Amino acid sequence: MGSNSPVVSADNSQDKKMEKSAHVIPQDASNGKDRQVNVSRASRKNIPDKESFQRINYLLQASQMIIAQSPRARSVPAYYCSLIHNIAQKSLIRLHPDVKRMMCRGCKCLLFPGINSQVTVKSKPMSQVFWTCFLCGTLRRLPSKRGYELWVQKPEALI
């Protein structure tokens, strides 16, 4: 047997252990303990529209890197973010709320405070965070209650 030959185990119990793996989800809000969720390997591989998720992830990272390296380059990251929006619409993928909050609704570019947007916090009459895009002038208003968390961050949202 050469070093390139595959190793075959005679023990089936080890193969069954490899099929399922436990993912630890940190700090369950109800009891303060870590939870373990068993996810089979087959269910992780059979993600619908996996290529679309990978493409969206790549475009998001590329646009973040371009804006971080050269803040004056605005057209390429804006184009990448419009592609992200189009891919999500065509493949019926819901973008994560954090990704949606990073994007301008007017020109579909990523918002970076101080580089291409301004962030203002006002506490009266209600506490709100205002994001102003320098490229298109769109104003975005987000509520900021103390202790507020998005639905996707709650433990009930986990499958």
Maximum separation of any 2 CA atoms in the chain, in Å: 76
Structure tokens at 112: 């970076």
Q: What angle, rounded to 10 degrees, do the helices at 50-69 and 75-90 form? A: 160
Buried b (16+ CB within 10 A) or exposed e, 136-153: eebebeeeeeeeeeeeee
Q: What are the tens digits of pLDDT across the range 23-53?
A: 444 444 445 555 555 555 555 567 788 899 9
CB 129 within 8 A of CB 123: no
Q: Tell me which residue of 82, 80, 74, 19 sits closest to 45, measured CA to CA.
A: 19
Say which residue, 91 or 1, is predicted with more confidence: 91
**3-state SS, residue 34:** coil
Q: Tell me which residue of 98, 97, 55 sits closest to 80, measured CA to CA.
A: 55
Q: What are the tens digits of pLDDT across the range 97-154?
A: 888 888 888 888 888 888 888 999 988 888 889 999 988 899 999 888 777 777 777 8
Q: What are the tens digits of pLDDT across the range 65-79?
A: 998 888 788 788 889
